Amino acid sequence: MKTSARKGMFFLVLSIAVIAFTQAPILNGKDAVERPFHISGQISFIPFSDTGVATHFGKFVSYADDPYGSVGHYVTANGDIVYWIVESYDADTSIVVIGFTGGTGRFEGATGEFTGPMILVDLDTLTFDYEGEGTITY
């Protein structure tokens, strides 16, 4: 009986240790911080291209990951990636809301969004200038 109690206690302690060590990077890792975000750029839909400058990104290039330009990713100045999705677009006001849905490097797990108007500058290429304000958490 004592041997099985010791085995049980050993496995309990071992289980707690395994949980503690596997959770340590999560508990002791860098805490995500919400930061103000500003972006300005120019996006063209025929063909798709998006370039600009944003806080925390520096100069960026953006790529659509679907044929509709509703999801994609930014490649920041240092090569990190931030994934984005169009959360809403109001055609009457030309206001777009873009959400962040993760990334690579320092933007791993990034969340947040920005909102801003898109101003049509070329009807032939469907090119818009845009600026946006919001937050990014990483």
* pLDDT tens by residue, 103-114: 999 999 999 999
Do residues 26 and 44 both lie within one domain? no
Question: Domain residues for 22?
Answer: 1-30
Do residues 68 and 24 both lie within one domain? no
Among 7-11, 107-111, 126-130, the range scoring the smallest mean pLDDT is 7-11
Query: Residue written as tokens 């304000």?
Result: 133
Q: What is the mean pLDDT of the chain?
A: 85
**pLDDT > 70 in the chain, percent:** 78
Do residues 68 and 103 both lie within one domain? yes
Do residues 71 and 121 both lie within one domain? yes
pLDDT band at 2 (very low <50, low <70, confident <90, very high): low
Report whether pLDDT(30) > 90: no
Do residues 38 and 22 both lie within one domain? no
C-beta of residue 129 within 8 angstroms of C-beta of residue 119:
yes
Do residues 49 and 106 both lie within one domain? yes
Report whether pLDDT(134) > 80: yes
Q: Where are the alpha helices (DSSP H) in the chain?
A: 2-28
Do residues 19 and 41 both lie within one domain? no
Do residues 77 and 64 both lie within one domain? yes
Do residues 39 and 103 both lie within one domain? yes
Q: What is the mean pLDDT of residues 107-133?
A: 97
Compute CA distances 26 → 14, 18, 23, 52, whole Å: 19, 14, 5, 33
Three-state DSSP at 55 gives coil
pLDDT band at 131 (very low <50, low <70, confident <90, very high): very high
pLDDT, tens digit, for every residue of 54-79? 999 999 999 999 988 899 999 999 99
Q: pLDDT at position 47, please?
A: 87
How many structural domains is the chain composed of? 2
Of residues 71, 68, 77, 69, the one with CA closest to residue 107: 77
Report whether pLDDT(32) > 90: yes
Do residues 21 and 46 both lie within one domain? no
Do residues 24 and 46 both lie within one domain? no
Do residues 40 and 11 both lie within one domain? no
